Amino acid sequence: MIERIDIDHLTLRYGDVTALDELSLSMVGGKIYGLLGRNGSGKTSLLSVLASFRKPTSGDVRINGQPVFENQAITSQIAFIRESGDTVEDTEKVESAMRYAAYLRPNWDAEYAARLLERFEVSTKARIGSLSRGKRSALGIVLGLAARAPLTIFDETYLGMDAPSRYAFYDELLNDFMEHPRTFIISTHLIEEVSRLFENVVIIDRGRLVVQDDVETLLSRGNAVTGPADVVDQFVNGYGFTVIGTRQLGRTKSAMVYGQLDPEKRAEARAAGLDLEPLALQDLFVHLTEPRGDQS
């Protein structure tokens, strides 16, 4: 069981490049987490340190209070599936990848794995090197789900998969999570598609934490306030909302604000003739991680 994950002032440097910069966050077990960030924001670095694939430059990662790095008791509970599900040699067949996983993974469910391979139409006789990109991703998903590891990490594991296969993945993930509750961390670019699967979302940028919150809370904080420009400005500035983006069309302005809008403020905005619309997670993400020159 993963009770909790604590990441404390985690820094990871590759030569001159700082991939993770004093990043701190905590997760409690038993939830599906989404990890969002732009390319190069440090997602894979973070997940690699979490799975003990990399040693941090400074700071630490603890799972259930125990340091993760080179801690066999902890790492055996983690399944880390990278982009295209790399696990064994390309020359091996899918069935030997299954045997290998059965040997390595204490909770491996071979029957479930077989069912998943069938669902994703991956032949057990195929050589891994000959699989298309999509089928390789599907293989990664099978290895990740059937491992039933207390902590399962999928790092953009959908490359090359078509929409029906991705939706099959989402269905399998949800169902298996409900039948065998455990902790999942999923990093993704396809935010709209998967955001509803997450309970909690972590957004990082330039190796730092931008925001972490429950999806529903995050969504309730992002709103587009639209109306005559002067009225919008008055409302937004009057309450000191954090404006994360604006757009203007003629005299109509739309300000994307981040902050709690209680019912009184909502009523006031409506009375002033303003339109309020919740922002989609994708929009929130884009505006919270937009290049702004200076880090605020």
Partner 1 sequence: MFDDRSPIYRQIAEQIKQAILTGDLQEEEQVMSTNQYAAFYRINPATAAKAFQELVDEGLLYKRRGIGMFVSPGARERLRSQRRERFFADVVEPMVAEARAIGIPLREVIQWLEQREGEEER
Q: Which residue has the tokens 């599900």?
A: 85
Structure tokens at 45: 């670095």
Task: Tell me how far, at minimum, the Cβ of 295 lies from partner 1, in Å.
Answer: 30
Answer yes or no: are the C-beta atoms of 161 and 89 closer than 8 Å. Answer: no
Q: Which of residues 206-265 bind partner 1 (CB under 8 A)?
A: 214-216, 219-220
Interface region with partner 1, contact rule CB under 8 A, candidates 13-21, 46-54, 164-172, 245-253: 164-172
Q: Which of residues 275-294 bind partner 1 (CB under 8 A)?
A: 276-278, 280
Q: Which of 197, 203, 244, 255 binds partner 1 (CB under 8 A)?
A: 197
The beta-carbon contacts of 159-167 under 8 Å, at least 24 apart in sequence, are: 159/83, 159/84, 159/133, 159/134, 160/84, 160/132, 160/133, 160/134, 160/136, 161/134, 161/137, 162/134, 165/120, 165/134, 165/138, 166/190, 166/193
Q: Which residues on neighbouring strands pair with residue 78, listed in sequence order?
A: 151
Task: Tell me how far, at minimum, the Cβ of 248 lies from partner 1, in Å.
Answer: 20
Q: Which of 178, 250, 293, 296 binds partner 1 (CB under 8 A)?
A: 178
| 196 binds partner 1 per the rule CB under 8 A | yes
Answer yes or no: are the C-beta atoms of 146 and 101 closer than 8 Å. Answer: yes
List the x/- string, 10-39, binding to partner 1 by CB under 8 A.
Answer: ---------------------xx-------
Give me the phi and psi of 158, to 5 degrees please: -160, 5
Comparing CB distances to partner 1, the nearer of 114 and 276 is 276
Q: Which residues on neighbouring strands pair with residue 246, listed in sequence order?
A: 255
- The secondary structure of 159-219 as a DSSP string is TT--HHHHHHHHHHHHHHHHHS--EEEEE-S-HHHHGGG-SEEEEEETTEEEEEEEHHHHH
Binding residues with partner 1: total (CB under 8 A): 22
Interface region with partner 1, contact rule CB under 8 A, candidates 5-13, 16-24, 165-173, 248-256: 165-173
| 167 binds partner 1 per the rule CB under 8 A | yes
Structure tokens at 178: 């409900």
Interface region with partner 1, contact rule CB under 8 A, candidates 54-62, 92-100, 119-127, 273-281: 273-281
Answer yes or no: are the C-beta atoms of 199 and 214 closer than 8 Å. Answer: yes
Task: Tell me how far, at minimum, the Cβ of 244 lies from partner 1, in Å.
Answer: 18
Task: Tell me how far, at minimum, the Cβ of 124 lies from partner 1, in Å.
Answer: 28
Q: Which of 53, 69, 100, 170 binds partner 1 (CB under 8 A)?
A: 170
Element containing residue 73 per DSSP (H, E): helix 72-75
Q: Which residue has the tokens 């299954």?
A: 98
Task: Tell me how far, at minimum, the Cβ of 198 lies from partner 1, in Å.
Answer: 6
Task: Tell me how far, at minimum, the Cβ of 123 lies from partner 1, in Å.
Answer: 28
Task: Tell me how far, at minimum, the Cβ of 270 lies from partner 1, in Å.
Answer: 10
Chain positions contacting partner 1, by CB under 8 A: 31-32, 167, 170-171, 174-175, 177-178, 196-199, 214-216, 219-220, 276-278, 280
